[in-house]
Amino acid sequence: MLVYLDMNCFNRPFDDHSQARVVVETEAVFAILRRIEDGLDVLAWSSALTFENSKHPLPDRRDEIARWEHRAGLGVQITDSVIRRAGTLIDSGFHALDSVHLACAEAAGCDRFVTCDDRLLRTARRVQLTVSVRNPVNYLEELSND
């Protein structure tokens, strides 16, 4: 499966684990990252992910996340068509950077876009996308049902 992980997935393990949801999503993200390492999933990475990660205020976390770019099986270029698609997605209610991530995932032909962002998930339910958007827990549940 070709997957695009939103930056919040890479950051989830560093979040406050006093909430059960964060713990469960962290475990799911680790499971997805193991699937990528094991060759069961292929990670798509874009310069939008690199850009967003470069803004992380903590260098140790930024460096740890940056290592995943080198494990990606597919690099996604931001082309004019990606920019146009991102503009359409902004008009549909997505935030600007989310729109670029989604447009990159679509351009790459990703099967799944994985995010912990509830607002993005809600907006994705009402917008026509060529990539299925899932929470990490739901993504793994979907795999176990197949």
CB 6 within 8 A of CB 114: yes
CATH topology of domain 2-145: Rossmann fold (3.40.50)
Domain boundaries, the chain: 2-145
Closest CA to 101 of 112, 62, 141: 112
Phi, psi of 133 (to 5 degrees): -100, 125
Tens of pLDDT, residues 25-53: 999 999 999 999 999 999 999 999 999 99
Band of the pLDDT at 56, cuts 50, 70, 90?
very high
Angle made by CA atoms 98, 104, 106, in degrees to the nearest 5: 105
Widest pairwise Cα distance in the chain: 42
Task: Give the mean model confidence (pLDDT) for residues 115-133.
Answer: 97
